[in-house]
């Protein structure tokens, strides 16, 4: 090998990327991860209502999640355990409303 440094640098940088993604997942709560993985598929795609920034107490989110509402199905304990649901409800109760999209310029 003429120049081992680029290979060593690439290996170092890839390791730093893995460490950064691991740190991000550690700073994200289980409830937030569940929201991003499951809830956002409907609630950020215009299928379900926006649930971030609504100012509901955590208990409201928990009741709706366990019992369902309108087109939203009920989530059983086998879908989301009580601890994760409580964390999700606390996360949602603290979120701010999403910023409105700026109108497209012509």
The catalytic residues are 71-72
Q: How far apart are CA 81 and CA 84, in angstroms?
A: 5
Retrieve residue 12's tokens: 């170092």
User: Where on the phi/psi map is residue 70: left (φ > 0), alpha (ψ -120 to 50), or beta?
Assistant: left
Which 3 state secondary structure label does DSSP give 57?
coil
Q: How far apart are CA 15 and CA 50, in angstroms?
A: 37
| Rounded alpha-carbon distances, angstroms, from residue 32 to 19, 61, 95 | 20, 13, 10
């Amino acid at each position: 090998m003429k120049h081992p440094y680029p290979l060593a640098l690439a290996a170092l940088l890839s390791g730093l990327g893995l460490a950064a993604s691991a740190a991000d997942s550690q700073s994200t709560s289980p409830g937030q991860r569940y929201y991003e993985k499951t809830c956002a598929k409907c609630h950020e795609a215009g299928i379900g209502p926006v649930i971030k920034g609504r100012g509901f107490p955590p208990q409201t989110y928990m009741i709706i999640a366990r019992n369902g509402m309108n087109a939203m199905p009920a989530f059983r304990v086998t879908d989301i355990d009580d601890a994760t649901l409580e964390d999700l409800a606390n996360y949602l109760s603290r979120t701010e409303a999403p910023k409105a999209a700026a109108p497209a310029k012509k």
